[in-house]
Structure 1
Amino acid sequence: MSEAALQHVEHLSVTIGPRGSCTASERQASEYCRQVLRDLGYEAHRE
C-alpha cells in the first residue's frame, strides 16, 4: 500500500476514530473523503 493510502487509513481510523451512524465522527469522515476526492480532481458530493 502506498504511503499516501496509509496516511488516509490512519487519519480515518486513528484521528477520526470509530464512526457510528449519524455521529459527528461519521460526518467528519465523510467530509474528509469528499475533500480528498476533490483534491484529486473528482467532483464529489454527499447524498
Structure 2
Amino acid sequence: MNNLKALQLSKLSHLVHLDEQALRHLISYVDGRGHHKGRNNTPRRKGAQ
C-alpha cells in the first residue's frame, strides 16, 4: 500500500508540475497576445476615428 501511495503521489506531483508549466506558458502567451491586441487596436481605432 505504501509503495502504491508513493507511486500515485509521485505521478500526481509530476502531472501537477507539468500542468503548472503548461498553464504558465498559456497565461504568458494569452497575456502577451492580449497586451499586443490592446496596443494595436487602440491606435487603429483612434486613427480610424
TM-score range for the pair, normalised by the shorter chain length: 0.3 to 0.5
Taking structure 2 as the reference length, the TM-score comes to 0.39
Question: Which structure has more helix as a fraction of its residues?
Answer: 2
Q: Whose RCO is larger (CA < 8 A, sep 6+)?
A: 1
Taking structure 1 as the reference length, the TM-score comes to 0.41
